[in-house]
Amino acid sequence: MFFIAPWVIGFVAFTAGPMAASLYYSFTDFNVLQPPIWVGASNYMHLVTDDEYFFQALNNTLYMVVVGIPATQVFAFITALLLNVKVKGIPAYRTLYFLPAIMPEVPITLIWAWIFNPQLGPVNAAISALGLVPPLWLSGPTWAKPTLILLGIWQVGTTTAIYLAGLQGVPQEMYEAAMIDGAGPLARLRQITIPLTSPVIAFNTIVGIIFFFQYFTQAYVASSTQGGQVGGVENSLLFYAVYLYQNAFQYLKMGYASAMSWLLFLIVMAVTLLSLYGSSRWVYYEVRQR
C-alpha cells in the first residue's frame, strides 16, 4: 500500500478530483475573481448553438485527426518497413529518422514556419522555380493545417520506432513460407506483415488520435509567427485546445471552458471506445486474448 501511495494521492488530487470539479464548473459561470454562479446547462447550449468559434475549433481539430492520423501512420509504417531492410548503414538512417521526434516542439515549429515562409522560404523558392504558384502555407487559411500535418509527418520518429519493433516481431519463417508459396512482396505485406503488426497499428492509431485531439503547442507557436493572432489567419489554426485555452486563461470564462473540456472528454472517449471496438474486430493476436 505504501508503494502505491504516491500514485493514489496524485490520482485523487490531480485526476479524479479535478474531473469532478470541472464537471461542476461546467454548469457554472466562473471568472475566478468571483465565486461560481450556477447556470445549469446554458454553457453547453451556448457552445453547441451560438458559438461559431466552437464549430471552427472542432472542425480544425477533426481535420487534424481525420487527415493527420492516416498521413502520419502510413508514413511511419512505410518508414519502418524501410528501416527494417538489410542495407548497409541502416543504423545511421535510423538515427536520422528518429531524431526529429525528440526535438522540442517550440523551436521546431519556428523552423517549420521559416522553411515554409511564403516570401522567403526555400520551399516556395523551389515551387516558384518549377513555375508553380507558391502557396501561402501558414499565412493563409487553406494551407495552414497541411503545413502542420507535414510537421507531424516529420516528427513521426517515435511512431516509426514502435512500428519497427512490431515488424521485427514478425517471425521470419512466415515470410519464407510465403515466398515458397510464390507470394510476391505486396501479398506478403497484406497477408503477413499487416495482420501480424495490427496490434501495434491499433495502439499507434489510438495514441495518435488522443494526441491530435489535444493539439496545442505547435498551433500556438505557429500562429505566434503570424503576427501573434492566436488562432492563425482566419482562425484556420484555431484548434479545440487552443480555443479552450483562450476561454479559460484569456477571457477568464472558466465555466465555459470547463464545459468545453468535458465535451472534449466525451468525444475522445467515444472515439477511443470506437477504435478499441474496431480493433477487437480486425486486430489479429497471435495468442487468442479473451
Partner 1 sequence: MSDEAIDVPRVGRWPKTKPIAARRSRAVLKQAGLHLVLLVVAAYFAFPFFWLVTSSLKDATQIFVFPPVLWPNPIKWINYPVAFEEMHFAHYLVNTLTVTVPSVVGTLISSAMPAYAFSRLNWPGRDLVFVLVLGTMMLPFAVTMIPVYLLFHALGWIGTYLPLIVPHFFGGAFFIFLLRQFFLSIPIEISEAAEIDGANELRIFLQMIIPLSRPVIATTVLLSFIWTYNEFLQPLIYLTNDSMYTLALGIVTFVGSNIQKWELLMAAAVMYCVPNIVLYFFAQKHFIKGIATTGMKS
Of 206-265, which residues contact partner 1 (CB under 8 A)? 206, 210, 213-214, 216-217, 220-221, 224-225, 227-228, 240-241, 244-245, 248-249, 254, 257-258, 260-262, 264-265
Number of residues that bind partner 1 (CB under 8 A): 98
Tell me the closest approach of the beta carbon of residue 149 to partner 1, in angstroms: 14
Q: Is 236 exposed, middle or buried (0-12, 13-18, 19+ CB in 10 A)?
A: buried
Indicate whether 279 belongs to the interface with partner 1 (CB under 8 A): no
Indicate whether 270 belongs to the interface with partner 1 (CB under 8 A): no
Which amino acid appears at position 258 of this protein? S
Q: Segment 118-137, which members bind partner 1 (CB under 8 A)? A: 119-122, 125, 128-129
CA 19 to chain centre: 22
Dihedral sign computed on CA atoms, order 94, 100, 103, 105: negative
Indicate whether 54 belongs to the interface with partner 1 (CB under 8 A): no
Dihedral sign computed on CA atoms, order 223, 225, 226, 229: positive
Tell me the closest approach of the beta carbon of residue 142 to partner 1, in angstroms: 21
Tell me the closest approach of the beta carbon of residue 99 to partner 1, in angstroms: 6
Per CB under 8 A, the list member of 31, 59, 158, 191 interacting with partner 1 is 158
The answer to whether residues 81 and 165 touch, using CB atoms and an 8 Å cutoff, is: no
Tell me the closest approach of the beta carbon of residue 115 to partner 1, in angstroms: 5
